[in-house]
Structure 1
Amino acid sequence: MAASVHPAGGLITVATCSLNQHALDFDGNLERILRSIKIAKEKGAKLRIGPELEITAYGCQDHFLEGDTQLHSWQVLVKILECEDAYDMVVDVGMPVVHKNVLYNCRIILYQRKILLIRPKMWLANDGNYRELRWFSPWMKHKQTEDFHLPKMIVDVTGQQTVPIGHAVVSTQDTCIGVELCEELFTPAAPHIEMALDGVEIFTNSSGSHHELRKLRTRIDLIKEATLKAGTLPTSLSGGLYLYANQQGCDGDRLYYDGCAFITLNGRVIAQGSQFSLNDVEVVTATVHLQDIRSHRTWSSRSMQAAGHEGAFQRVRAETRLSSEDAEDLIETQVDHEGEFEYNMPEEEVAYGPACWLWDYLRRSGMGGYFVPLSGGIDSCATATIVYSMCRLVAKAAAEGNESVIKDARRIAGEAADSSYVPIDPREFCGRIFHTCYMGTSNSSDETRNRAKGLAEAIGAYHTDLNMDACVAAIHTLFAFVTGKKPEYKVHGGSNAENLALQNIQARLRMLLAYLFAQLLPWVRGKTGALLVLGSANVDEALRGYYTKYDCSAADINPIGSISKVDLKRFIAWAGKAFELPILDDFLNATPTAELEPITKDYVQSDEIDMGMTYEELSIYGRLRKQSKMGPYGMFNKLAIEWGHRLSPTDIADKVKYFFRMHKMTTLTPSYHAEAYSPEDQRFDHRPFLYNTRWAWQFRAIDAKASAMPDRSKKGEANKGDNVQAA
Structure 2
Amino acid sequence: MGRTVTVATCALNQWALDFEGNLERILKSIEIAKCKGARYRLGPELEICGYGCSDHYYESDTLLHSFQVLAKLLESPITQDIICDVGMPVMHRNVRYNCRVIFLNRKILLIRPKMALANTGNYREMRWFTPWSRPRHVEEYFPPRMIQNITTQESVPFGDAVLATLDTCIGTEICEELWIPTSPHIEMGIDGVEIFANSSASHHVLGKAHTRVELVNSATAKNGGIYLLANQKGCDGDRLYYDGCAMISMNGSTIAQGLQFSLDDVEVLVATLDLEDVRSYRAEISSRNLEASKVTPYGRIKVHFALSCSDDIRTPTSEPVQWKYHSLAEEISLGPACWLWDYLRRSKQGGFLLPLSGGVDSSATACIVYSMCHQVCCAVDSGNQNVLDDVQKLVNDETYIPKQPQEFCGRVLTTCYMASENSSQETRNRAKSLAEEIGSYHININIDGAVKAIWGIFNAVTGRLPQYQVHGGSARENLALQNVQARIRMVLAYLFAQLSLWSRGMPGGLLVLGSSNVDESLWGYFTKYDCSSADINPIGGISKTDLKSFIQYCTENFHITSLGSVVSAPPTAELEPLKKGHVAQTDEEDMGMTYSELSVYGKLRKIAKAGPYTMFCKLITMWKEICAPRQVATKVKHFFRMYSVNRHKMTTLTPSYHAANYSPDDNRFDLRPFLYNSAWSWQFRCIDEQVSKVESEELKPKPEDVV
TM range (shorter): over 0.9
Q: For residue 51 of structure 2, what is the amino acid of its counterpart?
A: Y
Q: CA deviation at 1:286?
A: 0.4
Partner residue of 2:672? 687
Partner residue of 2:462? 483
> Which secondary structure does the structure 1 equivalent of 2:31 belong to?
helix
Q: CA deviation at 1:324?
A: 3.3
Q: For residue 640 of structure 1, what is the amino acid of its counterpart?
A: I
Q: For residue 545 of structure 2, what is the amino acid of its counterpart?
A: V
Given the superposition, is the C-alpha separation of residues 279 and 98 from structure 1 closer, same or farther in structure 2, using an over 3 Å criterion? same
Q: For residue 608 of structure 1, what is the amino acid of its counterpart?
A: E
- 1:549-598, CA deviations, whole angstroms, 9 ceiling, x for partnerless residues? 00000000000001000000000001111111111111111110000000
- Are 1:645 and 1:712, in contact at CA under 8 Å, matched by a contact in 2? no
Partner residue of 1:256? 241
1:350 aligns with 2:332: yes
Partner residue of 2:663? 678
Q: For residue 163 of structure 1, what is the amino acid of its counterpart?
A: V
Q: CA deviation at 1:464?
A: 0.3
> Which secondary structure does the structure 2 equivalent of 1:296 belong to?
helix
Paired residue for 1:146, among 134, 139, 154?
A: 139
Partner residue of 1:50? 43
Q: Distance in 1 between matches of 2:41 and 2:698?
A: 61
Partner residue of 2:315? 331
- 1:317-363, CA deviations, whole angstroms, 9 ceiling, x for partnerless residues? 10112113433x6333136xx51211111101100100000000000
Partner residue of 2:65? 72
Q: For residue 61 of structure 1, what is the amino acid of its counterpart?
A: S
- 1:471-490, CA deviations, whole angstroms, 9 ceiling, x for partnerless residues? 11111222122111111111
> Which secondary structure does the structure 2 equivalent of 1:221 belong to?
helix
Partner residue of 1:511? 490
Q: For residue 379 of structure 1, what is the amino acid of its counterpart?
A: D
Q: Distance in 2 between matches of 1:303 and 1:105?
A: 31
Partner residue of 2:704? none
Q: For residue 332 of structure 1, what is the amino acid of its counterpart?
A: P
- 1:581-637, CA deviations, whole angstroms, 9 ceiling, x for partnerless residues? 111111111110000000115971010010011000000000000001010011000
Partner residue of 1:203? 196
> Which secondary structure does the structure 1 equivalent of 2:651 belong to?
coil
Q: Distance in 1 between matches of 2:457 and 2:235?
A: 44
Q: CA deviation at 1:277?
A: 0.3
Q: CA deviation at 1:300?
A: 4.4
Q: Distance in 2 between matches of 1:302 and 1:132?
A: 36
Q: CA deviation at 1:424?
A: 2.3
Q: Distance in 2 between matches of 1:208 and 1:596?
A: 43
Paired residue for 2:150, among 131, 141, 157?
A: 157
- Are 1:271 and 1:284, in contact at CA under 8 Å, matched by a contact in 2? yes
- Are 2:356 and 2:362, in contact at CA under 8 Å, matched by a contact in 1? yes
Q: Distance in 2 between matches of 1:706 and 1:371?
A: 50
Q: For residue 173 of structure 2, what is the amino acid of its counterpart?
A: E
Partner residue of 2:705? none
1:649 aligns with 2:629: yes
- Are 1:97 and 1:106, in contact at CA under 8 Å, matched by a contact in 2? yes
Given the superposition, is the C-alpha separation of residues 711 and 243 from structure 1 closer, same or farther in structure 2, using an over 3 Å criterion? farther
- Are 1:646 and 1:713, in contact at CA under 8 Å, matched by a contact in 2? no
Partner residue of 1:232? none
Partner residue of 2:703? none
> Which secondary structure does the structure 2 equivalent of 1:343 belong to?
coil
Q: Distance in 1 between matches of 2:698 and 2:507?
A: 63
- Are 1:11 and 1:330, in contact at CA under 8 Å, matched by a contact in 2? no
Q: Distance in 2 between matches of 1:712 and 1:355?
A: 53
Select between 362-371 and 467-476 the one with higher mean Cα deviation: 467-476
Partner residue of 1:722? none
- Are 1:198 and 1:309, in contact at CA under 8 Å, matched by a contact in 2? no
Q: Distance in 2 between matches of 1:453 and 1:714?
A: 58
Q: Distance in 1 between matches of 2:690 and 2:543?
A: 31
Q: CA deviation at 1:645?
A: 2.2
Q: Distance in 2 between matches of 1:194 and 1:303?
A: 10
> Which secondary structure does the structure 1 equivalent of 2:51 belong to?
coil
Partner residue of 2:573? 594
Given the superposition, is the C-alpha separation of residues 591 and 103 from structure 1 closer, same or farther in structure 2, using an over 3 Å criterion? same
Q: Distance in 2 between matches of 1:660 and 1:136?
A: 37
Q: Distance in 1 between matches of 2:619 and 2:633?
A: 9
> Which secondary structure does the structure 2 equivalent of 1:485 belong to?
coil
1:321 aligns with 2:306: yes
- Are 2:190 and 2:295, in contact at CA under 8 Å, matched by a contact in 1? no
Q: Distance in 2 between matches of 1:695 and 1:626?
A: 18
Q: CA deviation at 1:491?
A: 1.1
- Unpaired runs of at least 5, structure 1: 1-5, 230-237, 716-727
Q: For residue 614 of structure 2, what is the amino acid of its counterpart?
A: G
Select between 705-714 and 504-513 the one with higher mean Cα deviation: 705-714
Q: For residue 552 of structure 1, what is the amino acid of its counterpart?
A: C
Q: Distance in 1 between matches of 2:493 and 2:131?
A: 46
Paired residue for 2:180, among 187, 192, 217?
A: 187
Select between 569-578 and 304-313 the one with higher mean Cα deviation: 304-313
Partner residue of 1:133? 126
> Which secondary structure does the structure 2 equivalent of 1:177 belong to?
strand
1:123 aligns with 2:116: yes
Q: Distance in 2 between matches of 1:710 and 1:214?
A: 40
- Are 1:644 and 1:711, in contact at CA under 8 Å, matched by a contact in 2? no
Partner residue of 2:395? 413
Partner residue of 2:607? 627
Superposition CA RMSD, Å = 1.4
1:401 aligns with 2:383: yes
Q: Distance in 2 between matches of 1:483 and 1:285?
A: 73
Q: Distance in 2 between matches of 1:304 and 1:357?
A: 46
Alignment of 1:33-112 (within 5 A): 33-112=26-105
> Which secondary structure does the structure 2 equivalent of 1:703 belong to?
helix
Q: Normalising by structure 1, what TM-score?
A: 0.94
- 1:249-285, CA deviations, whole angstroms, 9 ceiling, x for partnerless residues? 0000000000011100101001011000000000001
Alignment of 1:465-484 (within 5 A): 465-484=444-463
Partner residue of 2:374? 392
> Which secondary structure does the structure 2 equivalent of 1:653 belong to?
helix
1:174 aligns with 2:167: yes
- 1:671-709, CA deviations, whole angstroms, 9 ceiling, x for partnerless residues? 000000000013000000100000111010000001111
> Which secondary structure does the structure 2 equivalent of 1:587 belong to?
helix
Paired residue for 1:443, among 415, 422, 429?
A: 422
Partner residue of 2:513? 534
Q: Distance in 2 between matches of 1:146 and 1:637?
A: 53
- Are 1:649 and 1:711, in contact at CA under 8 Å, matched by a contact in 2? no
Q: For residue 347 of structure 1, what is the amino acid of its counterpart?
A: A
Q: Distance in 1 between matches of 2:173 and 2:125?
A: 16
Paired residue for 1:570, among 546, 549, 553?
A: 549
> Which secondary structure does the structure 1 equivalent of 2:670 belong to?
coil
1:609 aligns with 2:589: yes
Q: Distance in 1 between matches of 2:449 and 2:7?
A: 66
- 1:440-473, CA deviations, whole angstroms, 9 ceiling, x for partnerless residues? 0110000100110111110110000121111111
- Are 1:395 and 1:423, in contact at CA under 8 Å, matched by a contact in 2? yes
Q: How many residues align?
A: 694
Q: Normalising by structure 2, what TM-score?
A: 0.97
> Which secondary structure does the structure 1 equivalent of 2:87 belong to?
strand
1:460 aligns with 2:439: yes
Q: Distance in 1 between matches of 2:327 and 2:577?
A: 40
Given the superposition, is the C-alpha separation of residues 714 and 213 from structure 1 closer, same or farther in structure 2, using an over 3 Å criterion? farther
- Unpaired runs of at least 5, structure 2: 701-707
- Are 1:441 and 1:469, in contact at CA under 8 Å, matched by a contact in 2? yes
Q: Distance in 2 between matches of 1:189 and 1:300?
A: 20
- Are 1:648 and 1:712, in contact at CA under 8 Å, matched by a contact in 2? no
